[in-house]
A and B are shown apart, each in its own frame.
Chain A
């Protein structure tokens, strides 16, 4: 690749052709402030805070959007640049309802940070906020959209469009009225939004935030009548550290458990347990569907079957491909299976009235907040999951409690419903559910382990947009003889833009898959909308590595070998897809409109 030589602040640097000035500066460890720029998104170049001086050019150039060229001389800190930058920040602040001390993003806001760095003062421009008719949409159980905090950087628009291919948010109006709007400016919960939170994760300010339930959880904890049960999703333990001052890629499972106990939760349990359970139910459902389609030739049985554990994906398919809802596994997500069991089986086991249980879950996800509030999620006779917190909210609670997270000693989950397998841990990464399901389903059918070195089904791992893998079934157990010689075709996609590619090929009949795993978020749950900010490919890769490290280190690697799951079936559920399972662990879906 040809190299481009330029100087930035009089220092020589050489970059690949096509690299931007911003990237070149990064190479020299020169920090240029940015707002609309985000590594995961296409370049917009609209905030203009990253402008730099290019010798020979009267106007400044946006460093994020300008390719480096041979012989360029760039100044990032000249008087002209500083004046312009400060002016841009001052302008943004002037149309911004700056009330940092009461803002959810206080302390982690990019606008606030720049404003403080550039000493934006009182004597600035005219405050435009009073003249604006800003709206705040707090009707959704998952996401709050506050236009008065919006800097119109369009990161959210690009997230929703590029990563998710939905377009739930777009730019409306022009000039002074220009704003980010949902379809017909309806509330977020009424539009095609999937609650995935990818926009929330990338919004630099407090304009798009998760609806937080921190105070609700605190008051439940402090209510002596209540028994507080908490479950933690697989992807939380490999990212929580980031929000508490640690490097990405750290596994903090034991510290997280210790912190939750310190916060005052009575039972500290693991969503991984129901992830294993999901595999048993979903795996058996797949086999049942295969039998229905291949042996009984039942036209009602739909293949390919898709996974159902990502609530963003569920809302998406309800809107976009309602005709394919019969293809979605009826198995609930691990969060909701857990919720249903906590207020039935577990309540009974610990002899607590389910009425007195508050079931809290810690999720990497904003869509789980919406999921917990679905009307059908009351299988236990109560609201199965009462309160959902994101990884970020948990970190905030740990800070509020004054806990020195890094200094905590590792602790173990409580039992029952605290034991899990490596197969459950990898639910947090794209391809993980597929891998876990194959480890189990293959063994059910053949009586042997999947034919992959160390149980690692590498073709379904990694960040490729769409991954395919096929396993040929040979010498099955007699009960499954109809599968002899069948090549089980699977497909994995993460991010809804990629899901769309796969589903379109299912609709037009091009794809002949048996089983499809879809996760709404890039990289899977580890890149969820509720995860620590910032996110980028580098960080998601480190989180992924941590997940597979955690899997490798687990004594049990297969869901069906989780002893507590085995016991749960013996004691309570009796058999996969049985009566109790249907009552508690499976669900139905609602076709919705696109508009």
Chain B
């Protein structure tokens, strides 16, 4: 196959040796300047909800609490994604610098990396790097310690409040919001929780300034993002791409020439059919892009040999099992959606039943307690609406 000229970037994984310098430089700046830079840069969380990172740090810095915490979310539970693992393996110092600067801004002295259980093999190398980093922090005279917390394996524990519960030794069940983590997070104290990639990006902003970052991407989706490309592609793997790329361009670069749909954002994301490739840009949900990027950056390409019914069926099975089970819409709703499409497929329910299921999915979206249950409707509705015949016949 001819080598394609991919439109990709190399910011995140660029191995830079100036960690100490950037850290020292940034620590000399005022907290307000740091926060302002982040806000100007337009950086939004790369872990799911897409919350503006500068604003998150600002709120936590203003919140009152006896202790404050910085937590790096490295639970990476979305099937088929492993970009956080790669970032932590290749450029962990960028993440640690992000955590330390955050700690300085909000006034924290303890930080945690909540590491997905399956990434246990990273504990040893990471611990070494953290130890070195602590030496560096001592040198600049900042009292901040990072520890690794090994996760339990449940997908839901990646949700920030379930993650806190799990760290506190409880069952990983999401909490009600408000209060948000910046007010009451880990141990009910003000906490900043950021995704691995988000923290790594802050490094680039500290180094190159907010404008360089803002120059990348479009409108409300700035900078670059690491994607895990999988499915019907000759070149699966992880790629850093600039926001704003159209899906048409994306499938031209990554597809096998027969793409009929792209699932953007994994099981919790949206399915975009071929006819919408041209008008869909990759980015956060907004006026321009039309597609949200709710989770870890999974991009799955399906060619015309795939049954979208099977695709949806797999996603629903995943949700039925990975829902924490505490809230009604998600625990029961996911089961109903799964059995519902099976019944329609088998002819036990008429095709009109799909309408009822679409209504149910919408009700789940507006009533579920956390992002998991709320986002089931994304894949469900986009697949059912765009591939209705495949659901029935």
Contacts of A95 in B (CB 8 A): 332, 335
Contacts of B364 in A (CB 8 A): 87
Cβ of A538 to closest chain B Cβ, rounded Å: 25
Q: Would you call A66 and B176 a contact (CB within 8 A)? A: yes
- Give the CA-CA distance A366 to B359 in the complex, in Å: 44
Q: Which residue of A lies closest to B156 (CB)?
A: A174
Q: Would you call B326 and A46 a contact (CB within 8 A)? A: yes
Does B216 count as interface, using CB distance less than 8 angstroms?
A: no
Q: Would you call A48 and B367 a contact (CB within 8 A)? A: yes
Mask of B322-335 contacts with A, CB within 8 angstroms, 1/0: 11111111011111
Does B374 count as interface, using CB distance less than 8 angstroms?
A: yes
Q: Would you call A58 and B366 a contact (CB within 8 A)? A: yes
Instruction: Please provide the chain A residues from 113 to 138 with a CB less than 8 Å away from any CB of chain B in the complex.
Output: 125-126, 128, 131
- Give the CA-CA distance A174 to B335 in the complex, in Å: 13
- Give the CA-CA distance A271 to B196 in the complex, in Å: 66
Does A585 count as interface, using CB distance less than 8 angstroms?
A: no
Does B55 count as interface, using CB distance less than 8 angstroms?
A: no
Does A377 count as interface, using CB distance less than 8 angstroms?
A: no
Q: Which residue of A lies closest to B154 (CB)?
A: A174
Q: Would you call B331 and A178 a contact (CB within 8 A)? A: yes
Mask of B306-343 contacts with A, CB within 8 angstroms, 1/0: 00000000000001111111111101111110011001
Does A520 count as interface, using CB distance less than 8 angstroms?
A: no
Mask of B348-378 contacts with A, CB within 8 angstroms, 1/0: 0000000010011001111111000010000
Chain A residues bordering chain B, tally (CB within 8 A): 39
Known: A46-B369, A126-B340, A175-B325. A91 touches B171 (CB 8 A): no
- Give the CA-CA distance A60 to B336 in the complex, in Å: 21
Q: Would you call B339 and A126 a contact (CB within 8 A)? A: yes
Does A62 count as interface, using CB distance less than 8 angstroms?
A: yes
Contacts of B367 in A (CB 8 A): 48, 51, 59-60, 84, 87-88
Known: A51-B367, A80-B366, A83-B363. A128 touches B328 (CB 8 A): no
Specify which of B324, B327, B328, B369 is in contact with A174 (CB 8 Å cutoff): B324
Does A43 count as interface, using CB distance less than 8 angstroms?
A: yes
Q: Would you call B332 and A94 a contact (CB within 8 A)? A: yes
Q: Would you call A87 and B360 a contact (CB within 8 A)? A: yes
Q: Would you call A178 and B360 a contact (CB within 8 A)? A: no
Contacts of A128 in B (CB 8 A): 332, 335-336, 339
Q: Would you call A91 and B336 a contact (CB within 8 A)? A: yes
Does A25 count as interface, using CB distance less than 8 angstroms?
A: no
- Give the CA-CA distance A128 to B340 in the complex, in Å: 11
Known: A47-B328, A59-B374, A128-B335. A175 touches B323 (CB 8 A): yes
Contacts of A43 in B (CB 8 A): 176
Mask of B196-214 contacts with A, CB within 8 angstroms, 1/0: 0000000000000000000
Contacts of A46 in B (CB 8 A): 326-328, 369
Mask of A169-182 contacts with B, CB within 8 angstroms, 1/0: 01101111110000
Q: Which residue of A lies closest to B340 (CB)?
A: A126
Cβ of B369 to closest chain A Cβ, rounded Å: 6
Does A33 count as interface, using CB distance less than 8 angstroms?
A: no
Does A38 count as interface, using CB distance less than 8 angstroms?
A: no
Q: Would you call B327 and A178 a contact (CB within 8 A)? A: no
Contacts of B322 in A (CB 8 A): 174-175
- Give the CA-CA distance A51 to B369 in the complex, in Å: 10
Does A65 count as interface, using CB distance less than 8 angstroms?
A: yes
Instruction: Please provide the chain A residues from 56 to 99 with a CB less than 8 Å away from any CB of chain B in the complex.
Output: 58-60, 62, 65-67, 80, 83-84, 87-88, 91-92, 94-95
- Give the CA-CA distance A59 to B328 in the complex, in Å: 16
Does A530 count as interface, using CB distance less than 8 angstroms?
A: no
Instruction: Please provide the chain B residues from 165 to 193 with a CB less than 8 Å away from any CB of chain A in the complex.
Output: 171, 173, 176, 178
Cβ of A142 to closest chain B Cβ, rounded Å: 27
- Give the CA-CA distance A474 to B177 in the complex, in Å: 59
Q: Would you call B328 and A177 a contact (CB within 8 A)? A: no
Does A315 count as interface, using CB distance less than 8 angstroms?
A: no
Q: Would you call A174 and B365 a contact (CB within 8 A)? A: no
Contacts of B327 in A (CB 8 A): 45-48
Instruction: Please provide the chain B residues from 90 to 110 with a CB less than 8 Å away from any CB of chain A in the complex.
Output: none
Contacts of B331 in A (CB 8 A): 152, 175-176, 178
Does A359 count as interface, using CB distance less than 8 angstroms?
A: no
Instruction: Please provide the chain B residues from 106 to 125 with a CB less than 8 Å away from any CB of chain A in the complex.
Output: none
Q: Can you list 23 A-B contacts with CB-CB less than 8 angstroms, sorted by A residue number?
A: A43-B176, A45-B176, A46-B326, A46-B369, A48-B327, A51-B366, A59-B365, A59-B367, A60-B367, A83-B359, A87-B329, A88-B328, A91-B360, A125-B336, A126-B339, A128-B332, A171-B173, A174-B156, A175-B320, A176-B323, A176-B334, A178-B325, A178-B331
Q: A152-B331, A174-B324 are in contact. List 7 more A-B contacts (CB 8 A).
A: A46-B369, A48-B368, A58-B366, A88-B367, A91-B332, A94-B332, A177-B325
Which B residues form the contact surface with A (CB < 8 A)?
154, 156, 171, 173, 176, 178, 319-329, 331-336, 339-340, 343, 356, 359-360, 363-369, 374
Which A residues form the contact surface with B (CB < 8 A)?
43-49, 51, 58-60, 62, 65-67, 80, 83-84, 87-88, 91-92, 94-95, 125-126, 128, 131, 151-152, 154, 170-171, 173-178
A-B interface, 8 closest residue pairs, ranked by CB to CB distance from nearest: A178-B325, A91-B332, A87-B363, A65-B176, A45-B176, A46-B326, A175-B321, A48-B367
